[in-house]
Amino acid sequence: MIFEEEYYAAGAPARVSQNGIFLLAPTLFAHGTEEQRARLLPRMARADDVWAQAWSEPEAGSDLAAIRSVAVRADGGWLLRGQKTWSSRATYADKGFGLFRTDPTAERHRGLTYLLFDLRAAGVTVRPIPQLDGEPGFAEIFFDEAFVPDADVVGEVDQGWRVAMSTASNERGLTLRSPGRFCAAADRLVDLWRRVGDASEAAPADRVVDAWITAHAYRLRTFGTATRLLEGGTLGPESSVDKLVWSELDVALHETALELLGAEAELSGPDGPDGGRWLSGYLFSLAGPIYAGTNEIQRDVIAERLLGLPRGDRR
């Protein structure tokens, strides 16, 4: 947390390695073999291998357990068949990780396996998808008999759901969405307000105050989460709270900045104020309530697993 706080306060850039170090690495710590950790982690840390996640499929978005892509037994490993989509960073990444159906007779959450694959391997095709903000941030991946050796199975075969979910909390808070990132953005917003805000207008000032309060609250809350982890606790459904907090904060923060910027707010790229960072940050923030499990799914998790309300029509 301290490193992340300083990293973002210094205005350091987003890290190309983040999906590896924040999502796959914790999974390998918990479920990987000694051999996998020794082979994969140093190259990941040096960004020699850039990793992409591959969870969603055309028919499996919020309903992730509807995954159809399969891994079929082959000599010494598995052959992948199917399609993944909205794969962040796959456009330029070297390797990917995701869930594949290994037991075609099993239903839903059962019979899935957590596999690592080479994005440059024969039988793998990557098609970039331009995003709302114009960046090729995510891609479709097509698998046509792409080979994965047994050494690249993480955890037990057919136990992939448990493996993936045990570290899904990392994406919802704490590391990948460290408070330092939002505290730094809130500080920049305060700075913007002091530079361009009209002191006689209370409404935008209140929005600045509320964004700062939420960032400050998220930071303190994460101290509490860190304390819980240090004392032997685990990240559970509570991380859905974090995901709602940072994703909505990020949108509110950038909306407030655009409000403060007046007519200049629509100017994009180098034509825009502060090099266009507020507008690009705003466009990026709009994805937050969708990825890492939509905010609707997170609210379901909170209602059912933390408040104990009955499950609805979802299976």
Catalytic positions are: 171
Selected range binding another protein among 77-85, 148-156, 251-259, 301-309, rule: CB under 8 A: 301-309
Selected range binding another protein among 59-67, 116-124, 241-249, 273-281, rule: CB under 8 A: 241-249
Sequence length of the chain is 315
Q: Is 264 in the site for another protein (CB under 8 A)?
A: no
Least CB distance from residue 4 to another protein, whole Å?
A: 14
CA distance 52 to 284: 18
Q: Write the secondary structure of 21-51 as one string of H (helix), E (strand) and C (coil).
A: HHHHHHHHHHHCCHHHHHHHHHHHHCCCCCE
Give CA separation, 65 vs 48, 59, 101, in Å.
32, 10, 10
- Rule CB under 8 A: choose which of 21, 79, 209, 252 binds another protein: 209
Q: Is 307 in the site for another protein (CB under 8 A)?
A: yes
- Rule CB under 8 A: choose which of 198, 206, 266, 271 binds another protein: 206
Q: With contact defined as beta carbons under 8 Å apart, do 27 and 164 qualify?
A: yes
Selected range binding another protein among 165-173, 268-276, 284-292, 304-312, rule: CB under 8 A: 304-312
> Total residues contacting another protein (rule CB under 8 A)?
48
Q: Is 224 in the site for another protein (CB under 8 A)?
A: yes
User: Residues interacting with another protein, by CB under 8 A?
Assistant: 9-11, 184, 187-188, 190-191, 193-194, 205-206, 208-210, 212-214, 216-218, 220-221, 223-224, 226-228, 230-231, 238, 241, 244-245, 296, 298-300, 302-304, 306-312
